Amino acid sequence: MPEADSGADPVLDVMRRHRSVRDFKPGQPVPEEVTERAVEAAQCAATSSWIQAYHLLEVIDADERAELASLAGGQRQVADAGALFVISGDTRRHRLVAAREGQPYVNSAELFVLATVDASLFAQNLTLAFESMGYGTCYIGGLRNDLAAVDRLLELPDGIFPLFGLCVGVPASDPGTRPRMPARDIWSRGRYPTDEELMGQVDAFDEAAASYYAGRGAAGRDWSGGIWRKFSRPMRTALRGFYDSKGASFD
């Protein structure tokens, strides 16, 4: 019988301590053996049909990292963190296997989703592994600002779909944790909530977010204001064309 009271579970403790770190101690690279431990553990994540459709590229060159920091919208941590990784959905091996056998590789939107889900499960396991060893992490979706430029810089072959970056390093300061919605808001049993229930949850979370922001000198901000602003304009409209050009199919 699984343990019902998981209050003292060390894995859950690491998960609850998560915060995105954007300020890293300089001159403290992540040792290769640490990354190896983290990657080996992260690979134990479940993977659709055992396909292992992900790749982790560690960017070593300082000039490349500076260029990626700029492409990500001037995010300093991309250049400064102890390590920078680019996480991609990887369908290249599968294509090569099919080609070697002289068999068709039948592309579809499902294959893009498979690779994206696989890569994301791996990435979150990797993040937890690093955090469990005392490192700070920050995902970098900002790399999707200009994936074509990222792709050229890193010379990624077709069949590789870069998704996001991951900064890892020794935290220089503690940004604290950001609140989340109550578990019961994102977990329902039997039926999805009504729109009225959802908006009641939003109002309650706006209050929690407002006090979080006020405690950080940003009084007047709330959660829903950030949401409608974010989704009020088109985002990264080149993505589909880019992924198409790298061999993804959305059919």
| Shortest reach from residue 22's CB to ligand FMN, in Å | 5
Nearer Cβ to ligand FMN (95/185) = 185
| Shortest reach from residue 234's CB to ligand FMN, in Å | 18
Question: Of all residues in this chain, which one has the CB nearest to ligand FMN in the complex?
Answer: 141
- How far apart CA 100 and CA 170 sit, in angstroms, is 44
- How far apart CA 240 and CA 246 sit, in angstroms, is 10
| Shortest reach from residue 101's CB to ligand FMN, in Å | 35
Nearer Cβ to ligand FMN (31/74) = 74
Nearer Cβ to ligand FMN (160/190) = 160
**Which DSSP letter does residue 48 get?**
G
- How far apart CA 9 and CA 243 sit, in angstroms, is 40
CB–CB of 82/29 below 8 Å? Answer: yes
Nearer Cβ to ligand FMN (139/161) = 139
Sign of CA pseudo-dihedral 149, 150, 156, 161: negative
- How far apart CA 61 and CA 65 sit, in angstroms, is 6
| Shortest reach from residue 178's CB to ligand FMN, in Å | 4
The DSSP element (H or E) to which 22 belongs, if any, is none
Return residues touching ligand FMN (CB under 6 A): 18-20, 22, 72, 75, 138-142, 164, 178
